[in-house]
Structure 1
Amino acid sequence: MGADRKGGARPRPGRAVAYAALGAVLLAGCASMPDSGDLRNVESTPRQDTRVRVFAMPPAEGAGPAEIMQGFLEALTSDDPDYDTARKYLSSDAARSWRPERSTTVLAGGPSIEPDCRAGAEPTSTVTCVLAGSRVATVDAQLAYEPAGGAYRKKVHLTRSPKDGQWRIDGLPDGVVMGKSDFQRNYTSVDKYYFASDTAVGSTGQPVAVADPVFVRSKVDPMTQMVRSLIGGPTRWLRPVVRSSFPTGAALQKDASGLAPDDQNRLTVPLNLQASQVAPRKCTEMATQVLFTLRNLAPTLESVELQGAGGHRLCDLSEERAEAVAWRGSAKSPENLYFLDGKHRLVRIPTGSTSTNAVPVPGPLGEGGKALDSVAVSRDEHTAAGVGDQGRSLYVTSLASGGSLGDALVTSQGATPADRLTTPSWDARGDLWVADRDPHRRRLYVMAQGVAKPQDVAVPDLSGTILDARVAADGVRIALVVKKGDKRSLLIGRVQRDDGTGQGTSVVELRSAAPDLEQVSALSWAGDSRLLVVGREQGGVLQMRYVQVDGSTLDGPAPGALTGVKSIAASEDERVPLVAYSEDDGIVRLPSGAQWQKVDKDGSAPVYPG
């Protein structure tokens, strides 16, 4: 993810935070309140250099209601840690009761002020105005982002003090509101990490790390914000399927602020815990959560020390040990790229190789005569699942010489290949997922360890047909391309495992991960909380972009344009080149800092393990 990673990395958009404060800048560009006419925008601040700290000005002596409203909205987009300047535009009672941390509402073009503010019973002393706009998203008190639509209208009441004659806001909603460009300047998306509740991998039973993306104010002590958010627990959507090793009541010490690594790239985190409250293994897991989370903000961070009450050391942890404590998709580099050759056999090329010479995999999928339509390779690269017979049959077999293909594990009765099985997908548990698109028997299946009897997965919120299904490495989230009418949308669902109650496995609380794309045609997981998607907006052209699982758009470069894209392959490890199948060029790959390169003109269906 950072400069310390080895070569071959592709840049991750929108993740790093710069800490240098180059100066204080007065916000500009806000329109004054007109006396009459239609709504006028209080324009979003133009995009600033992300290293610049932005501060607003307090209200001027004798400022009228229009200036107070304008100045307050500007102050909401500043870098004041506690919105101290914004509170100066409020009456003393309103300043005490206003809770800006409750939410952030993001509007398409900044809030507008209705020009004809309605006067109260005493026009010279009270005014009621309305803020209006078109909602894009909200960030809640847990810092969780959610796309939103519809109109935004909130009343703001102003009063002129009888003592000094100054206008102040004395009635307003909790939370803050700002335009999209101000939000992108003020906030950054960061993954905090928890552990899947019921998943362990490997011979030592490593817990599986799960990324929970949130948005924090990028220039307002972001590390301390993130540790508080991490200790506070997972966001509501993810909470049912993950756990935290921080005990109930854990918190940063009251005076903790300004958390940052020292010159040895070591971070000390002061907690309110006694040593007797923390078992050694739990402490190590807590430190792992902190280190995984804060490396989003400080890529060179090498170790974390947790301190308890009184400054006593609870435990410390290096980056190397953390990777051994928990399994994390982005830390696991695939050994090979896989795809189907011109004979529809499974072949592979070592991931780090610049060669274009692919060799058949050992076993019946590479050495046998079975023609395949799509394939998925398990994350340990020991097993593969192939869909053949024009989408009718799913086979699972070992990637070892001498193995047999055996009988199909799943068979579809769909009338055409488009009505049959999707590309299969593996999670870290070794479970295999596939969907059947047969209109008469639409199903999502999971097979434990890739060999158990297919189990129906309930999707109670589903409205439409699953065209593609790709499970996340952590096994607690799944990405679905769903067709409803003429629209093909990208949805993320939470995987609820069978907990012994006989309810079975289900995918619940579907939410959009790419709300502005109407025709999603291909996808791949490309990080712990992001995906690479091919699709088009309404009336737009086909494009390839990164999206977050929470539906936010990452601020950064998209992969280079490529015509005729039918499928894509990315790895959670961001150092690995992107690969795609194009009707025009076959298998192509995108090394870091380079253009798309041809690999195999006759190849198709590229995949990395997963």
Structure 2
Amino acid sequence: MRSSLAAAASAALLSMLLAGCATIPSSGPVQQGDPVPADSSPDLDIVVEGPTADATQEQILEGFLTAAQSPRNNYQVAREYLTPTFSDEWQADAAATIDVLADREQEVVDETTIRIDATPAASLRDNGQYEEPESRTPIPLDYRFEQVDGQWRISSAPTGILIDQVSFTQVFRDYTLYFFDPTHRYLVPDVRWYAGRDSAQTSMVQAMLAGPAEWLRPGVVSAFPEGMQLEPAAVPVTGGVANVSLAGAAFDDLATVQQMQEQLDASLIGVRNISSVDLTLNGVDPDAPPLASPPVKNPRVDPRSVVFDGETFGYLATSGEGIDPIADLSDQVVALAPTGAALGLEADAAAVRSAEGVWSVRAGEESVLLDPREGLVVPTIDGEGVVWSVPAAFPDQLVWFAPDGSVSEQVAAPWSGSSIAAIEVSRDSTRIVALLADGGRTHFVAASIQRGADGLPVALSPTALRLADVSGTPLDVTWLDSSTVASLTGLADGVTHVVTQELGGFARDRDGPVGGVQVDGGNADPRVLTGEGTLNVQSGVGWQVRAGNIRFLASQQPD
């Protein structure tokens, strides 16, 4: 009863507190917050210096690029290398080009211009979103110079900063914002990168108010109503408590306040030793009780691999010997003579590929042939029971099917390529990842899934997140957790590569088992099946055989 009374009281209080404030705007790029308390530690460990007397243009340029690694006081030292007029115009936070230092070339264009040809390794948007480049072709960046009181200064430069890969990892840090799936059952991660460590919590809150990254829209939602802003424009941290003061549109929905608090807690706790978040709305503490059913931050699947050995479909015993069939489902899958499968939410359904095409298999129901097209990749199934299918030779012909097969629709895929090797829907059912080939190029892409009120897909996001280019022939892709995927590619002589990719972050690769053909995520490290039927798990720097005589692995939705 106490929770109910608190909820009612909070709702009434919010209705009075938040009325009449609907005209506050919300626009513009995410900027660094106002200075935090004076006892905070320095933003960066790097020490940068201003220009020396009578420095050459080359020395001024080199000093500027180094000084731009420090965002302290709005890049104060870097601005000393600029003319007074351009210092006011330069937008340091607008973007960043991350290049390969060893490939950086410098050219004197004329008496007052130096050009740098930077080979892009990645880029950073003004909202802190990290992206892989579309091309590795060098980018020409021109820097122009003028004399100011007899000293060379930069009068024109590209927007943002140029920083090499090594320096980027020293200056910038990744932070995870959290938004919601449309049902508010799951928290969905959105990784951003910021340079100012002590102002990171301010940048994070401003980014949450601005909404999810473009590639996540409209499949992911935010609890923060449009028009809310941070006032004052900083998030001070005192005694481990982050103080977030917001002002914005009128509303009287208690659930919205609870969800805002949940987003803030999930995103900020742990950053700069933040242990709690104190939310203030229009100058008043709403004192809202926590959500009765908190959303899941990182949905997990059954730790056992789902396999088919030619006779039984089910969970591989932890010993690696024996398979536990799935009640009311395994026999139906086996009857189709499957060549691939994906297991649905709570193991009550499966999407199965056979020689006839892709099937929907549901416990206690007859199997339904959904997609009879030829050359299909292994299908994927989401938490709504929707089955996704696409032919390997036609990456743009992606089709989803309702669980009972009564509705199907082709959706515009925000990717291109000569072939597609694999697709898989995330465990919160908000995103889909694909592994494609385009001539000699192999790459990941990820897109969000927009759904209607009935849970059926409406469209994929028109903008896809570009992930890493990887070497070799594309074989398979899988989710490792809510923000990480892994791919398997084949090289010459049976050698394979496993590339782990954080969505919005770095890719890391390692050698896979010889003859690998399929990869599965489990809840952490990838597991690889070889063409000889051996299931391999990571063991230190190598791979250890866990089981043999396996035909295929099946991906899973949460159990």
Pairwise TM-score range, normalised by the shorter structure: 0.7 to 0.9
Of all paired residues, the percent bearing the same amino acid is 18
Looking at structure 2, the residues matched to 240 and 283 of structure 1 have their Cα atoms a distance apart, in angstroms, of 21
Q: Which residue of 2 aligns with 1:334?
A: 301
Q: CA-to-partner distance for each residue in 1:21-60, whole Å, 9 max, x for gaps?
A: 9x99xxxxxxxxxxxxxxxxxxxxxxxxxx9711201122
Deviation at 1:349, TM superposition (A): 4.1
Task: Find the partner of 1:546 among 500, 503, 509.
Answer: 500
Question: SS state of the match for residue 509, structure 1?
Answer: coil
Q: Which residue of 1 aligns with 2:10?
A: none
Q: Which residue of 2 aligns with 1:272?
A: 246
Structure 1 residues 303 and 259, CA gap change in structure 2 (3 angstroms): closer
Q: Which residue of 2 aligns with 1:477?
A: 431
Structure 1 residues 580 and 532, CA gap change in structure 2 (3 angstroms): same
Q: Which residue of 2 aligns with 1:408?
A: 368
Correspondence 1:313 to 2:280: no
Contact 2:421 2:476 in 1 (8 A): no
Task: Find the partner of 1:212 among 162, 187, 190.
Answer: 190
Question: SS state of the match for residue 342, structure 2?
Answer: strand
Looking at structure 1, the residues matched to 177 and 534 of structure 2 have their Cα atoms a distance apart, in angstroms, of 38
Contact 1:107 1:178 in 2 (8 A): yes
Contact 1:189 1:215 in 2 (8 A): yes
Deviation at 1:601, TM superposition (A): 0.6
Correspondence 1:104 to 2:103: no
Alignment of 1:268-417 (within 5 A): 268-273=242-247, 277=251, 279-294=253-268, 297=271, 303-310=276-283, 312-315=284-287, 324-328=293-297, 330=298, 332-349=299-316, 353=318, 356-366=321-331, 370=335, 371-388=337-354, 390=355, 392-398=357-363, 403=364, 406-414=366-374
Deviation at 1:81, TM superposition (A): 4.8
Q: Which residue of 1 aligns with 2:146?
A: 159
Q: CA-to-partner distance for each residue in 1:470-518, whole Å, 9 max, x for gaps?
A: 1223334222233444554433234344689x99545643453222445
Looking at structure 2, the residues matched to 186 and 539 of structure 1 have their Cα atoms a distance apart, in angstroms, of 40
Deviation at 1:531, TM superposition (A): 0.7
Contact 2:401 2:408 in 1 (8 A): yes
Alignment of 1:163-312 (within 5 A): 165-196=150-181, 199-200=182-183, 206-217=184-195, 219-254=197-232, 256-259=234-237, 262=240, 267-273=241-247, 277=251, 279-294=253-268, 297=271, 303-310=276-283, 312=284
Looking at structure 2, the residues matched to 247 and 355 of structure 1 have their Cα atoms a distance apart, in angstroms, of 50
Contact 2:332 2:361 in 1 (8 A): no
Deviation at 1:89, TM superposition (A): 1.3
Question: SS state of the match for residue 513, structure 1?
Answer: strand
Correspondence 1:563 to 2:514: yes
Deviation at 1:369, TM superposition (A): 5.2
What TM-score do the two structures reach when normalised by structure 2?
0.80
Structure 1 residues 295 and 533, CA gap change in structure 2 (3 angstroms): farther
AA partner of residue 432 (structure 2):
I
Number of aligned pairs?
515
Q: Which residue of 2 aligns with 1:65?
A: 57
Question: SS state of the match for residue 175, structure 2?
Answer: strand
AA partner of residue 307 (structure 1):
T
Looking at structure 1, the residues matched to 295 and 463 of structure 2 have their Cα atoms a distance apart, in angstroms, of 27
Task: Find the partner of 1:492 among 440, 443, 446.
Answer: 446
Structure 1 residues 81 and 380, CA gap change in structure 2 (3 angstroms): farther
AA partner of residue 545 (structure 1):
V
Contact 2:425 2:433 in 1 (8 A): yes
Q: Which residue of 1 aligns with 2:15?
A: none
Looking at structure 2, the residues matched to 226 and 506 of structure 1 have their Cα atoms a distance apart, in angstroms, of 26
Alignment of 1:520-531 (within 5 A): 520-531=474-485
Contact 1:139 1:145 in 2 (8 A): yes
Question: SS state of the match for residue 85, structure 1?
Answer: helix
Looking at structure 2, the residues matched to 248 and 499 of structure 1 have their Cα atoms a distance apart, in angstroms, of 21
Deviation at 1:567, TM superposition (A): 0.9
Contact 2:227 2:248 in 1 (8 A): no
After superposition, the CA RMSD in angstroms is 3.7
Structure 1 residues 559 and 79, CA gap change in structure 2 (3 angstroms): same
Contact 1:191 1:296 in 2 (8 A): no
Looking at structure 2, the residues matched to 171 and 484 of structure 1 have their Cα atoms a distance apart, in angstroms, of 38
Question: SS state of the match for residue 288, structure 1?
Answer: helix
Task: Find the partner of 1:447 among 394, 401, 405.
Answer: 401
Task: Find the partner of 1:602 among 534, 542, 549.
Answer: 549
Correspondence 1:466 to 2:414: no
Structure 1 residue runs of 5 or longer lacking an equivalent are 1-20, 25-50, 120-126, 201-205
Contact 1:284 1:315 in 2 (8 A): no
Looking at structure 1, the residues matched to 492 and 204 of structure 2 have their Cα atoms a distance apart, in angstroms, of 36
Contact 2:351 2:359 in 1 (8 A): yes
Deviation at 1:607, TM superposition (A): 3.3
Correspondence 1:89 to 2:43: no
Looking at structure 2, the residues matched to 540 and 53 of structure 1 have their Cα atoms a distance apart, in angstroms, of 45
Contact 1:580 1:587 in 2 (8 A): yes
Task: Find the partner of 2:530 among 555, 558, 582.
Answer: 582
Looking at structure 2, the residues matched to 193 and 256 of structure 1 have their Cα atoms a distance apart, in angstroms, of 19
Looking at structure 2, the residues matched to 167 and 506 of structure 1 have their Cα atoms a distance apart, in angstroms, of 51
AA partner of residue 422 (structure 1):
V
Looking at structure 2, the residues matched to 260 and 539 of structure 1 have their Cα atoms a distance apart, in angstroms, of 58
Looking at structure 1, the residues matched to 51 and 235 of structure 2 have their Cα atoms a distance apart, in angstroms, of 29
Deviation at 1:112, TM superposition (A): 4.9
Structure 1 residues 367 and 480, CA gap change in structure 2 (3 angstroms): closer
Looking at structure 2, the residues matched to 468 and 598 of structure 1 have their Cα atoms a distance apart, in angstroms, of 24
Looking at structure 2, the residues matched to 316 and 355 of structure 1 have their Cα atoms a distance apart, in angstroms, of 49
Deviation at 1:270, TM superposition (A): 2.0
What TM-score do the two structures reach when normalised by structure 1?
0.74
Question: SS state of the match for residue 372, structure 1?
Answer: coil
Looking at structure 2, the residues matched to 485 and 114 of structure 1 have their Cα atoms a distance apart, in angstroms, of 32
Contact 2:179 2:212 in 1 (8 A): yes
Task: Find the partner of 1:423 among 352, 356, 378.
Answer: 378
Question: SS state of the match for residue 515, structure 1?
Answer: strand
AA partner of residue 360 (structure 1):
P
Looking at structure 2, the residues matched to 226 and 503 of structure 1 have their Cα atoms a distance apart, in angstroms, of 30
Structure 1 residues 537 and 261, CA gap change in structure 2 (3 angstroms): farther
AA partner of residue 562 (structure 1):
P
Looking at structure 1, the residues matched to 491 and 90 of structure 2 have their Cα atoms a distance apart, in angstroms, of 39
Structure 1 residues 179 and 356, CA gap change in structure 2 (3 angstroms): same
